[in-house]
Amino acid sequence: MIKPLLDWLDHRTGYRKITHEALYENVPGGSRWRYVWGSTLTFALVIQIITGVFLWMAYSPSSQTGWESVYYIQDQMFLGWFVRGLHHFTAQAMIVLLVLHLMQVLIDGAYKAPRELNFFTGLILLLLVLGLSLTGYLLPWDQKGYWATRVVTNLAGIVPIVGDSLRRVVVGGNDFGHQTLTRFFALHAGVLPGGILALIVGHIYLFRRHGITPAEPRMKPDAAFWPDQVLKDAVACLAVLAAVLFLVLYNHGAELGAPADASVPFPAARPEWYFLSIYQFLKYFPGKTEIIGALIIPGMIFGFLFLMPFVGKWKLGHRFNVGFCCSLLVGAVFLSYLAKNEDHHNEHYQLAVEQSDTDAARVRVLAMSPTGIPPAGAVSLLADDPYTQGPRLFAQNCASCHRFGGTDALGSKLDESKELASDLKGFASREWLGGLLNPATVDSPHYFGATKFKDGPMVKFVHEDVKGFTPDQAAKLQKVLAAISAEASLPAQKAADTRDAAIIAEGRQLIKTEITCEDCHQFHEPNPDATAPDLTGYGSTEWLTAFLNDPGHPRFYGPDNDKMPAFGKQKRLNDHDIEMLAKWLRGDWYVPEAKP
């Protein structure tokens, strides 16, 4: 039944002859493990094509949807993280396999006549695969890929004469945007794989034409490719797949950073590990000599690789080639080590990586929030998130005088002795106000200690009146604190404020009666004698926003304001940033509901 059908097929296609030729290729000296690298590379490429096509079905190349669709693949679609992880780590494996394949070809002398053309196609394939890595790195449109790829396209810009035009054509305009992604994607999914497939056909054809270059001495008699060598190849492919699967599962797929944002610095930007050596190399070429390190030397090295078949004609030449490539490899490993080592000792970089991880995790929390990703894309999620923006704004604008839990809010410890104004961690909370009204701490550097209010009426009040409070008065003061703190409606104190509603109501009365806050402060009713900040809505978003806008306003410190700048009035910060800062100081940001 089947045989006549196959005969029919063979008569029309001649598949039996082709299969026979493919399978019964002679392997001089029998099958060997050292011949597996070409097959593992082909296997890796097949994985890339399969996973790549599936990812293609969910990826959307534009600056408003690139990151978003990758996030959707990664966190929402079934097994998306796995397919993407497979694609990502197989790409890394391909680089390793390419080096192994090249070294094996080199050591066995398989690049020499008459196999020069095969060697050349191999070198071009190597370049095309590196091109795939480079273009693929940008596609998720996250901070890392964005900033790292900008470096590469800027390097294209230093090519003499045509540089700027070349850069603009590659980028699709003057700056990175939609056109950059559509172009990179077309290269990544169309042009480069097409070129690779065409060259691989040629590469394998030439390989079959000249046969395997046997590694001497031959241990065994010749054998056919099938099944011995095929089995070894398959086992090697399995090992590659196992390594890739380990990496995918261990890392839960590939990394996805925060969405690309041209306005947010990204000091953690580094190229992929296999480009680290050239990245490090560039550091040694100052100023206008960059072109030497970026183009001329790498170009010469690559040019020499093309000359190797001719140099290798002489026995010494072959040894030189092997030695050259080995030292190149050692040099690359050493440079990569230097790059890693430098980063390892760079505290600034470590903080940046930590920050980038925090941002990446946070933006995904926000993307999964009920508000989700707006039509304009995910880039606004972090920009409008007090949790993300607050610490940055604080470190930049406030940390020259204030502290936040002893740090600049970004994790850098600050010199305790240089503290000039209060530590704002927990501002307006009961604990924070408790410290302010504590004779032991009110004039510490944590509060007014380093400001001109050190000898002001508030400190005096705490030192003279509060210090002498009877236990009954002290208990009343606690109620007043609860009342003032409740003005802020801090999200973290919501439960306590609701629970203590009666105490708070009592405290409100006490402010006006026994605890004489109203001597200096205004509280809900107009108080023309007030000289100190208004306690109405103290610590609320509205109060903080107005305060940051102009602390010297009569509602706050008036002419008594110390060094605090009027951030809004003086246009040092815009309304959006002031709002971010105010909300962040209050601990007012999106928190996902705990899963039951």
Longest dimension (CA), the chain: 110
Give least dist CB 574 to other proteins, A.
24
Give least dist CB 222 to other proteins, A.
4
Give least dist CB 467 to other proteins, A.
55
Contact residues: other proteins, CB under 8 A: 26, 28-29, 43, 46-47, 50-51, 53-54, 57-58, 65, 68-69, 71-72, 76-80, 82-83, 86, 218, 221-224, 226-228, 230-231, 234-235, 237-238, 241, 245, 367, 371-375, 378
Give least dist CB 30 to other proteins, A.
8
Query: Quick check: 571 and 368 in contact, CB under 8 A?
Result: no
Q: How far is CA 231 from CA 119, 224, 532, in A?
A: 25, 12, 85
User: Closest CB to other proteins among 200 and 399?
Assistant: 200
Q: Which residues contact 319 (CB under 8 A, 6 or more apart)?
A: none
Q: Which of 485, 484, 446, 443 is nearest to 464 (CA)?
A: 443
User: Closest CB to other proteins among 217 and 559?
Assistant: 217
Query: Quick check: 447 and 436 in contact, CB under 8 A?
Result: yes
Task: Tokens for 79, please give them.
Answer: 């097994």
Give least dist CB 24 to other proteins, A.
8
Give least dist CB 44 to other proteins, A.
10
User: Closest CB to other proteins among 76 and 574?
Assistant: 76
By the 10 Å C-beta count (0-12 exposed, 13-18 middle, 19+ buried), 571 is classed as exposed
User: Closest CB to other proteins among 373 and 490?
Assistant: 373
| Secondary structure in 3-state letters for 263-293 | CCCCCCCCCCHHHHHHHHHHCCCCHHHHHHH
What is the C-alpha to C-alpha distance for residues 572 and 566, in angstroms, rounded to an integer? 8
Give least dist CB 382 to other proteins, A.
16
User: Closest CB to other proteins among 29 and 202?
Assistant: 29
What is the C-alpha to C-alpha distance for residues 167 and 173, in angstroms, rounded to an integer? 8
User: Closest CB to other proteins among 378 and 379?
Assistant: 378
User: Closest CB to other proteins among 385 and 550?
Assistant: 385
Q: How many residues does the chain have?
A: 596
Q: Which of 356, 325, 302, 347 is nearest to 146 (CA)?
A: 356
User: Closest CB to other proteins among 240 and 581?
Assistant: 240
Give least dist CB 23 to other proteins, A.
10
Q: How far is CA 487 from CA 83, 534, 541, in A?
A: 51, 11, 10
What is the C-alpha to C-alpha distance for residues 470 and 394, in angstroms, rounded to an integer? 39
Query: Quick check: 225 and 23 in contact, CB under 8 A?
Result: yes
Q: Which residues pair with 404 in a beta bridge?
A: 407
| Omega before residue 28 within 30° of 0, cis | no
Residue matched to tokens 């006006």: 512
User: Closest CB to other proteins among 237 and 482?
Assistant: 237
Give least dist CB 173 to other proteins, A.
24
User: Closest CB to other proteins among 53 and 197?
Assistant: 53
What is the C-alpha to C-alpha distance for residues 322 and 320, in angstroms, rounded to an integer? 5
Give least dist CB 224 to other proteins, A.
6
